[in-house]
Amino acid sequence: MTHAQPPLTGKTALVTGASRGVGRAIAVALSARGARCTLVARDADALATTAERCGGADVLPLDLSDPDAVARDVPDAFDLFVHAASPMFEYKKLHTVTRDDLDALLHVNVHAAAAICRGVLPHMMLRRWGRVVLIGSLGGRLGARGGSAYDLSKAALESLGRSIAIEYARYHVTANTLVLGAIDGERLAQREAAYPGARAKLLERAPGRRLPTDEQVADVASWLCSDASAPVNGASIDVSCGAHLGNVW
Ligand SMILES: NC(=O)c1ccc[n+]([C@@H]2O[C@H](COP(=O)([O-])OP(=O)(O)OC[C@H]3O[C@@H](n4cnc5c(N)ncnc54)[C@H](OP(=O)(O)O)[C@@H]3O)[C@@H](O)[C@H]2O)c1
């Protein structure tokens, strides 16, 4: 699939969450197809590693939970915007969720995404072409015990994608959300270390007894960033190896 994908030569891409996991894999995939990526996350060293794997990229170490920094430091001239950043959070029941817990997720997953979209959309309108790819979660659709704050932020992100799809389609700008279940990546490895057996339990409930890898998600994301995806707009696309067909959470 990787080599069959249409090239993105000449496109500029902003990828958040690019210091590891899905965001890193997406940055590498977009770079391999010829896009020039700008990488955002807080960890400057990890971003430098991603840039190396991209064969060169611009790095922008930034805390996306700081709205002033987002407004001040994120440039606007991008053809592609992929929002993969999302803070780690603690699963807890709603009555114990604090305002700070909620704000931490909403600032990165919703406010930063919307602010960056507001910045890049005029450029995309001028170019009469653009792609926005948001990384959502099955939790945003199905809910999960203890995940209320995260889940509502991911549901809002999907809504943002639909609004952009409706308002900017006439400029050949599309926006879509990839709805992920558990990914066979770094986060799951950490969960397995903390809760041995967690991976096997998830696999057991996945129809094909497998889960997507970071690279497989990146292949779908980079297809969505190409010309070939033009008819797909305002969609929420499950990338979960079918885990969305049962409540895996
Ligand atoms: N992995 C899964 O099983 C799974 C399942 C469903 C949905 N998802 C979604 O898929 C996306 C990627 O997941 P992942 O597993 O790759 O996550 P991850 O490994 O935890 O990476 C999250 C990324 O977000 C960045 N980030 C977090 N807080 C930030 C902040 N305040 N400012 C700037 N950057 C920030 C992190 O970088 P720094 O720490 O360097 O800032 C990191 O690059 C996320 O949106 C996640 O919600 C993942």
pTM above 0.95, yes or no: yes
CA dihedral 133, 137, 37, 34 (to 10 degrees): -70
Q: What gap in Å lies between CA 14 and CA 81, rounded to an integer?
A: 5
Instruction: Summarize pLDDT for 72-106 with one digit per residue, the tens.
Output: 999 999 999 999 999 999 999 999 999 999 999 99
The structural domains of the chain, ordered by start, are: 12-183+214-229 (3.40.50.720)
* CB of residue 187 inside a 6 A radius of ligand 1: yes
Residues in a beta bridge with 9? none
Tokens representing 156 are 């809002």
CA of 109 from ligand 1 middle (Å) equals 10
Q: Which residue has the tokens 């939790």?
A: 139
How sure is the predictor about 248, in pLDDT bands with cuts at 50, 70 and 90? very low
Instruction: List Cβ neighbours of 109 (8 Å cut-off, separation of 6 or more).
Output: 85, 86, 87, 150, 153, 154, 156, 157
Give the Å distance between the CA of 135 and the centre of ligand 1. Answer: 9
Q: Are strands 173-180 and 130-137 parallel, antiparallel or unpaired?
A: parallel
**CA 85 / ligand 1 centre spacing (Å):** 4
Element (H, E) at 246: none
Q: What is the pLDDT of residues 16-52, one digit of tens each?
A: 999 999 999 999 999 999 999 999 999 999 999 999 9
Give the range among 142-146, 181-185, 204-208 with minimum mean pLDDT: 204-208
* Token representation of residue 36: 């020039």
Contact 180, 135 (CB under 8 A): yes
| φ, ψ for residue 86, nearest 5 deg | -165, 130
Res 66: pLDDT = 97
- What is the radius of gyration, based on Cα positions, of the chain? 17
